[in-house]
Structure 1
Amino acid sequence: MAKQKIYQVDAFTDKTFSGNPAAVCPFDQWPADELLQNIALENNLAETAFYVKKGDQYEIRWFTPAVEVDLCGHATLASAFVLFNQEGHNSDEILFHSPRSGELKVTRQGNLLTLNFPTDVYTRVELSHNLLNGFNLKPVLALKGKTDYVLVFDKEDQVRNIQPHLDIIAQLDARGVIVTAKGDEVDFVSRFFAPQSGINEDPVTGSAHTTLTPYWAKNLGKNELTAIQLSPRKGYLQCRYLGDRVEISGQGKLYLTGEIHLD
């Protein structure tokens, strides 16, 4: 019986039981996709990241319990945390390559890990019937990025207290829906709902900040921003808009190390 290493890291936090938990499995070579999906389903976390060392880079992929996704920030941060702290990576920079999202760099400065991701391109869209009926509160405008809708609200309290109608959200042709507003004590806040990807509410969504960062940078007139994702577990992020790239920074906390027993 083969044994496979597995780690679980709480991302975008410095405390266990907060932030966004991700599982991380390092492989020597890629197994069948069916095994990757089965491991992610068994883990039953928002995302499980898998990576394989290729030369001086690491090829990385991400799976929810239901599907493979194009990009996942918190599971990339968790993978970098594992490489830096558990798997002996001996520099302060890691180069990941995603077959779906290209080159992704993570750097370390003390306990702070910084993701360098491609900036999402978004357009303003009509507030359709399904978008309006997906929540109990009405947004001021809607955007559509590569994979997600973004609904912008007037106040932080609206984002904190919003009630999603998940059956309606699940019908949207998107990975999920980000809701956001200007923050009271940080630059902006958000939440993320993706029932169509098997995640009713994601605790902290790094990839969503590839859309949120350019939007709020332009609207607030500043390129360095602080953010909180207002899920029950909460996540804390520092974001920097660099034009065609964004930097998303946060910490990680190791929760679990273990072995999967594979037949």
Structure 2
Amino acid sequence: MNFPYYIVNAFGSFSYSGNPVGVCVLTEWLSTDELQKIASQACLSEMNFLFPGESDIWSIRWFSPLMENDMSSSGALASAHVLYEFGYHPQTQKIKFSSAGGILNAELKSTKEIRVEMDQASARSCIASSLLIEGLGAYPDETYIGNDCLCVFSDESIVESLEPEFKILNRIGCARGIIVTANSSEEGVDYVTRFFSPRYGVNEEKISGTIHNLLVPYWSKKFGKVKFRVRQLSENPTTLLTGMNENSVWIEGKSTIFVTGEMTI
């Protein structure tokens, strides 16, 4: 069986920027085991599998090298770029993705950036565990738990200088990953963040969009506004726009095609 395969630099404006993720456009669904094997073999931070559904809705599933994710807005951004760029979906129409984690909507803007909208996520305040503190090597000022664990620090320099013990963080089983964030000292940037997800086989994401469904509601309360410019302090720091509507959070950015080809299984 052959099907189209792309590597897309999500949130990247040139070849070696952004977060490289795989996108496969299927003509029939493969088994979960086959999808996971493909993701493991590809060895990217994420593989996105698309299948055209009814009423112009695209079914989407996301896999890391180790397991399936229920939500990835970065993956949706990359997938939307492929669908628009290669004529799978009209550029004048919004794309609706149906996933295990809910519905995501994507729209091509006049600036050629793509906006992906997702539901807001909730989290409750909690006390940082000794395992979390040991794994991060620092004590957060605030800690929240939802699908991810959100750790807020008082200064950007703390977030930037963290050198986590990933084997320890991998033992935290109550969250998908660990988000660290702080107010930014850089003019024109509202907050900074990093995201660690060793349980999914990715110690640190180059850039993650989904984490902002927790971050945007948090910082909106702090800043009293609903639109943000954010910098992810990974190996190649990346900036993106994000914001919120009444019940949803959106991320916006460009992507570039790095590889086009065909996958054979």
TM-score (norm 1): 0.96
- Deviations along 1:176-234, one digit per CA (max 9) or x if unpaired, are 10110011221111001111111111111111111111111111111011101110122
Aligned counterpart, 1:184: 185
Equivalent residues in 2 for 1:81-100 (5 A)? 81-90=81-90, 91-98=92-99, 100=100
Shift of 1:235: 2.3
Aligned counterpart, 2:142: 141
| AA matched with 1:96 | F
Q: Take 2:134 and 2:145, find their aligned partners in 1: how far apart are those partners?
A: 17
- The reply on whether 1:59 has 2:59 as its aligned counterpart is yes
Q: Take 1:92 and 1:15, find their aligned partners in 2: how far apart are those partners?
A: 25
Equivalent residues in 2 for 1:20-99 (5 A)? 20-55=19-54, 56-90=56-90, 91-98=92-99
| AA matched with 1:95 | K
1:205 to 205, 208, 215: 208
Q: Take 1:257 and 1:13, find their aligned partners in 2: how far apart are those partners?
A: 16
Aligned counterpart, 1:253: 256
Residues 47 and 63, structure 1, Cα contact 8 Å, conserved in 2: yes
Q: Take 2:113 and 2:185, find their aligned partners in 1: how far apart are those partners?
A: 24
Residues 119 and 243, structure 1, Cα contact 8 Å, conserved in 2: no
Residues 3 and 27, structure 2, Cα contact 8 Å, conserved in 1: no
Aligned counterpart, 2:5: 6
Shift of 1:92: 3.7
- Structure 2: 5+ residue stretches without partners: none
Q: Take 1:248 and 1:82, find their aligned partners in 2: how far apart are those partners?
A: 17
Q: Take 1:42 and 1:6, find their aligned partners in 2: how far apart are those partners?
A: 13
Q: Take 1:254 and 1:83, find their aligned partners in 2: how far apart are those partners?
A: 12
| AA matched with 1:157 | S
Shift of 1:62: 0.2
Q: Percent identity?
A: 34
Count of residue pairs the alignment pairs up? 259
Shift of 1:241: 1.5
Aligned counterpart, 2:239: 236
- Deviations along 1:223-261, one digit per CA (max 9) or x if unpaired, are 011101110122221111223210111110110001112
Residues 118 and 249, structure 2, Cα contact 8 Å, conserved in 1: yes
2:230 to 221, 227, 232: 227
Aligned counterpart, 2:159: 159
Shift of 1:68: 0.5
Of 81-90 and 222-231, the range deviating more from structure 2: 81-90
Structure with greater strand percent: 1
Q: Take 2:66 and 2:87, find their aligned partners in 1: how far apart are those partners?
A: 28
Q: Take 2:138 and 2:208, find their aligned partners in 1: how far apart are those partners?
A: 22
Residues 20 and 235, structure 1, Cα contact 8 Å, conserved in 2: no
- Deviations along 1:3-22, one digit per CA (max 9) or x if unpaired, are 22100000112122121111
- Does the residue aligned with 2:114 lie in a helix, a strand or coil? strand
Residues 112 and 249, structure 1, Cα contact 8 Å, conserved in 2: yes
Q: Take 2:69 and 2:222, find their aligned partners in 1: how far apart are those partners?
A: 29
TM-score (norm 2): 0.95
